[in-house]
């Protein structure tokens, strides 16, 4: 029986998503910023909605963000614990 060596691809480089705080200078509000390997920045919608004073982020997104502007990071990250509803 042959077993695939899990270390056979150790030389491959996997790029990570960088997570940092973004501070809005005008108000001092802080939200998480996810920087993709290609340099694009994403902000978790729940963080933005909370800073804007919405108590129900999901409802706020459905009411105020057109469907064409909503994007999920799940296709990019799989199920590695990212919050759904981030937007560019």
Contact (CB, 8 A) for 58 and 65: no
Any residues with CB less than 8 A from the CB of 76 and at least 6 apart, and which?
17, 36
Give the C-alpha separation, 59 to 50, whole Å: 12
For the entire predicted model, the pTM comes to 0.59
pLDDT tens per residue, range 30-83: 999 989 888 888 888 889 999 999 999 999 999 999 988 888 766 555 544 454
E-only strand ranges, the chain: 18-23, 30-35, 41-44, 86-87
Question: Where exactly are the structural domains of the chain?
Answer: 18-87
Alpha carbon of 64 to those of 35, 60, 68, 80: distances in Å? 24, 6, 12, 27
């Amino acid at each position: 029986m042959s077993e695939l060596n899990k270390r056979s691809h150790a030389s491959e480089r996997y790029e990570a998503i960088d997570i940092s705080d973004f501070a809005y200078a005008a108000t001092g509000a802080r939200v998480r910023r996810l920087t993709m390997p290609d340099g694009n920045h994403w902000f978790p919608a729940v963080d933005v909605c909370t800073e804007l004073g919405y108590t129900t982020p999901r409802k706020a997104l459905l009411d105020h963000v057109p469907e064409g502007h909503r994007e999920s990071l799940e296709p990019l990250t799989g199920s590695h614990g990212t919050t759904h509803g981030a937007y560019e």
